Amino acid sequence: MVQILTPDGVIAPSAEAEPYAELVEGLDDSTLETFYRDMVRSRRLDIMGANLQRQGQLALWVPSHGQEAAQVGSARAARTQDHIFPSYREHVVGMIRGLDPVRIMALLRGATLGGWDPAETGNFHLYTLVLASQTLHATGYAMGLRFDGLVGTGDPETDTAVLVYYGDGSTSQGDASEALVFGSSFQTPQVYFIQNNQWAISVPVQRQSRVPLAQRGPGFGMPGIRIDGNDVLASYAVTRTAMEQARAGEGPSLIEALTYRMGAHTTADDPTKYRPEGELESWIARDPISRYRTWLEGRGASEAFFDQADADADDYAADVRRRTLELQAPSRPAIFEHVYSEPHPLMAQQAEWLERYEAGFEGGAA
Amino acid sequence: MPMGKAINAGLRKALADDPKVLLMGEDIGPLGGVFRVTEGLHAEFGGDRVIDSPLAESGIVGTAIGLAMRGYRPVLEIQFDGFVFPAFDQITTQLGRQNLRHDGRMPMPVVIRIPYGGHIGSIEHHQESPEAYFTHTPGIRVVSPSSPHDAYWMIQEAIASNDPVIFFEPKSRYWPKGPVDLDHAGIALHSSRVMRRGTDVTVVGHGAMVATLLQAADIAEQEGRSLEVVDLRSLSPIDYGPLVDSVQRTGRLVVAQEAVGFTSLGSEVAATIAERCFYSLEAPVLRVSSFDTPFPPAALEADYLPSPDRVLEAVDRALAY
């Protein structure tokens, strides 16, 4: 397992981490601070989202508490031109790419089905609620990049890769395996990033796989690398290396980030019913944010920096919360809009019917 | 020209006209597909335009969604009707919804070609008519040509559409020849068409059933009865105009299909015509379908599939009211 930063907050690369240590040493203070600020902001948003759901303002919240390092490190490893296909838990990845989290709130509030355009959100694609479906979309997109000649040109501004996120539960889906078949066969410029957060709702990862999920990579003909997903430095360094290999035309890689979903799967779930006693505590001891903070403190980061990061995260969350509560339901005709991209007689007829039906009530009241 | 060749010619034209069109499917490359519909295209356009895929239907459709996001116009081949179901999830939960989920900013110009239907004496899962599953899915368009001319034009129009189109090819019609006007399509993709004028009973169907209906009309004529034959062509959306006109003239409708009858396309047509033509109808709308069973062993297919005689039996019933 690739681990660079230990749970105690000490840089002590594991044997597997040796090839990546240099990459981490080259990171400047600003980048290192950005990782921290991203993770704190993610956790703050997570708490706010869960509260909003409890207050009846969201239909559902999908927590990412505990997975900040896996998400921030990998997301920060992508270049501007890269495309990212999330599952439905990668809120901070979207934020890093420029997605306004209110769009996520709108989805979880039941006001939209997503609605953002990847071209306007740093090539961050829509959430996909059907497990592993997006692994195939990402693979097809990566095939297209290859057909377009945007791989292996040697120009770092041109070469493009795809990063796709999915979870340990999703690996059991046929689509996840088919994606690896297509990715390997077509040598797509792509990184398959599995966040193994140990639980697929209530079912432990052992029910999904008898072997480490990273071993799926070699089985399909690509490297499979297991990382400490609570180590933001390992997540960054390994993903960055794999993405560079993908852009260079060396084909896809699979990364398994070992992490832990500290909250529920969603707010519809109660983890106290299935988690063994002591498990959560053991993972709290491996918390991605506190270990990173310890290390930054050791490097001389000031108390003021941490205070500022907290204050910024509070402001950010408050702003998102305020704007979430202002979200309006879409107008009624939206039911029929965009089901087809070209005119369709049933949509026209039914939209007209609904308009007349509603107008009938207005007429009766008058 | 036979329909198989007509589709081949249509695909060739689409590939030549637009570099973003690509074909993908199992065995469609050097082999040219098990029905040879893509024959010669791999040699002409290369392996990046005519792609032999891994043997994985969900993968074929799922990666095509990603290719469409990248600006490609994938034309997929599902080898046989009964093998589309591994891709059903990608078609219904993903392909048909991408444009909607993206607020209209992610059109999905994906065509899925599916050879379908019976009459070729094949084995299990090779002779089915699963079109109702797809017409039941919002966001998806479904068409089925019945003639070489329509096949040549409809495949090109389907590829030009920015919406996903399932293109059901009646495989028993791959070989019979028919005229193809390479200069004029005649009518638009989502139009229905009156194939033969008549005055006593309207009969409507799609795909291979149109040939059966025309045969039935020939026989009926010898018996002094005049059937009007309508080819639906487009199964979703359905162009009801010519059908409503026809039923208002004849007062009787028989809907025929190879598919299982229960909750079928024919049921939809029957219900709609009952609503729209209630005061013109002299008899209930009758359905002629295959039985509500799995497709039987091919030795029994003649007893299973609607024949001209079974259509005429329904015509008799309609006229008896």
DSSP single-letter state for residue B82: G
Whether the Cβ atoms of residue A88 and residue A49 lie closer than 8 Å to each other: no
**Angstroms from A355 CA to nearest CA on chain B:** 20
Task: Provide φ and ψ at B120, rounded to 5°.
Answer: -120, 5
For strands B227-231 and B193-196, give the pairing: antiparallel
Give the mean model confidence (pLDDT) for residues A161-165: 98
- For residue B169, what are its two tokens? 């090819």
Q: B67, A174: Cβ pair inside 8 Å?
A: no
Q: Select from A128, A131, A147 the residue whose CB has the most chain B CBs within 10 Å, as the one to mutate to test that interface.
A: A147
| Residue to substitute from B18, B76, B100, B163, interface A, most A β-carbons within 10 A | B100
Average pLDDT over residues B82-87: 98
What's the rounded Cα separation, in Å, for the pair B207 and B290?
Answer: 14
Mean pLDDT score of chain A, rounded to an integer?
Answer: 96
Angle at A25 between CA A23 and CA A26, to 5 degrees: 65
Measured in degrees and rounded to the nearest 5, phi and psi for residue B29 equal -80, -115
State how far the Cα of A141 lies from the Cα of B61, in Å rounded to an integer: 12
Q: Do B105 and A140 touch (CB under 8 A)?
A: no
Query: Which residues lie below 8 Å from residue A134, measured CB to CB, with a gap of 6+?
Result: A85, A86, A87, A125, A128, A164, A165, A166
E strands within chain B? 21-25, 50-52, 73-77, 111-116, 141-143, 165-170, 193-196, 201-205, 227-231, 234-236, 253-260, 286-290
Q: Are A133 and A354 in contact (CB under 8 A)?
A: no
**pLDDT digits over B152-208, tens only?**
999 999 999 999 999 999 999 999 999 999 999 999 999 999 999 999 999 999 999
| Overall size of chain B counted in residues | 321
Q: Which candidate from B22, B66, B162 shows the least CB-CB separation from A136?
A: B66
Q: Please report which confidence band the pLDDT of residue A365 belongs to, taking 50, 70 and 90 as the band edges.
A: low
User: A267: pLDDT confidence band, cut at 50, 70 and 90?
Assistant: confident
With 80 as the cut, is the pLDDT of residue A332 above it? yes
Q: What sign has the CA pseudo-torsion B208, B211, B213, B215?
A: negative
Burial bucket for residue B244 (CB in 10 Å: 0-12, 13-18, 19+)? middle
Catalytic residue among A261, A286, A291, A293: A261
CA distances (Å), A247 to each of A158, A226, A251, B4, B193, in order?
9, 21, 8, 41, 51
Closest residue to B104, CB basis, from A118, A182, A338: A338
Which one-letter amino acid corresponds to residue A314? D
> B67 to chain A, minimum CA–CA distance in Å?
5
Q: Find the mean pLDDT for residues B57-67.
A: 98
User: Tokens 């025929």 label which residue?
Assistant: B256
- Structure confidence at residue A266 (pLDDT): 82
Residue-wise pLDDT for A109-133, tens only, equals: 999 999 999 999 999 999 999 999 9
Calpha distance A25→A16 (Å, rounded): 16
Task: Tell me the backbone φ, ψ of residue A192, rounded to 5 degrees.
Answer: -90, 115
- Give me the torsion for CA of A19, A25, A28, A32, rounded to 10°: 80
Is the per-residue pLDDT at A363 higher than 90? no
| Strands A253-258 and B21-25, bridge-based pairing | unpaired
Count of all residues that appear for chain A in the document? 366
Which H or E run includes A255? strand A253-258
Q: Round the average pLDDT of chain B to a whole number and report it.
A: 98
Per-residue pLDDT of A48-86, as tens digits, reads 999 999 999 999 999 999 999 999 999 999 999 999 999
Question: Scanning every residue of chain B, which has its alpha carbon at the shortest distance from the alpha carbon of A112?
Answer: B101
Q: How far away is chain A from the Cα of B269, in angstroms, using its nearest Cα?
A: 14
Q: Compute CA distances A121 → A94, A100, A288, B319, whole Å.
A: 8, 8, 26, 63
In whole angstroms, give the CA distance from residue B287 to residue B205. Answer: 10
Which residues from chain B sit within 8 angstroms of residue A114, using beta carbons?
101-103
Render pLDDT for A181-233 as a digit per residue (tens, 0 to 9).
999 999 999 999 999 999 999 999 999 999 999 999 999 999 999 999 999 99
DSSP class of residue B3?
A: H
Please state, in angstroms and rounded to a whole number, the distance separating the CA atoms of residues A68 and A80: 20
Average pLDDT, integer, range B239-257: 98
Residue A274 among the catalytic residues: yes
Task: Give the closest of A142, A178, A337 to B62, CB-based.
Answer: A178
DSSP letter assigned to residue B53 = P
Whether residue A366 is predicted with pLDDT greater than 50 in this model: the reply is no
Chain B contact for A342 (CB, 8 A cutoff): yes
Testing the interface with B: which of A178, A186, A336 to mutate, by most B Cβ within 10 A?
A178
- CA B34, distance to chain mean position in Å, is 19
- B69 and A346 in contact by Cβ < 8 A? no
Query: Smallest Cα–Cα separation from B119: which of B283, B305, B309, B272?
Result: B305
Give, for A164, the enclosing helix (H) or strand (E): strand A162-167
Distances (CA, A) of A268 to A50, A62, A312, B221: 11, 9, 29, 66
In chain A, what percentage of residues exceed pLDDT 90? 95
Catalytic residue among B119, B126, B149, B190: B126
List chain B residues with CB under 8 Å of A182. Answer: 53-54, 56, 59, 63
CB atoms within 10 A of CB A76: 19
pLDDT in tens, A9-44: 999 999 999 999 999 999 999 999 999 999 999 999
A265 in catalytic set? yes
Helix, strand, or coil (residue B282): coil
The phi and psi torsions of A190 (rounded to 5 degrees) equal -160, 145
Identify whether the C-beta of residue A170 lies closer than 8 Å to the C-beta of residue A189.
Answer: no
Q: Which amino acid is at B225?
A: R
Give the tens place of pLDDT for each residue, B211-240: 999 999 999 999 999 999 999 999 999 999
The helix-helix angle for A174-185 and B57-69 (nearest 10°) equals: 70
Q: Indicate the burial class of B241 (C-beta count within 10 angstroms; 0-12, 13-18, 19 or more).
A: exposed
Percent of chain A with pLDDT over 70: 99
Both tokens of residue A75?
Answer: 């997301």
Give tens-digit pLDDT for B5-47: 999 999 999 999 999 999 999 999 999 999 999 999 999 999 9
- pLDDT band, residue A162 (cuts 50/70/90): very high
| DSSP symbols for A48-74 | HHHHHHHTTS-S-----TT-HHHHHHH
| CB-based contact B89:B58 (threshold 8 Å) | yes
CA nearest A164: which of A154, A182, A185, A179? A179
What is the DSSP code (8-state) at residue A328? P
Q: Give, in order, the Cα–Cα distances in Å from A337 to each of A113, A127, A342, B315.
A: 12, 20, 10, 41
Element (H, E) at B248: helix B241-250
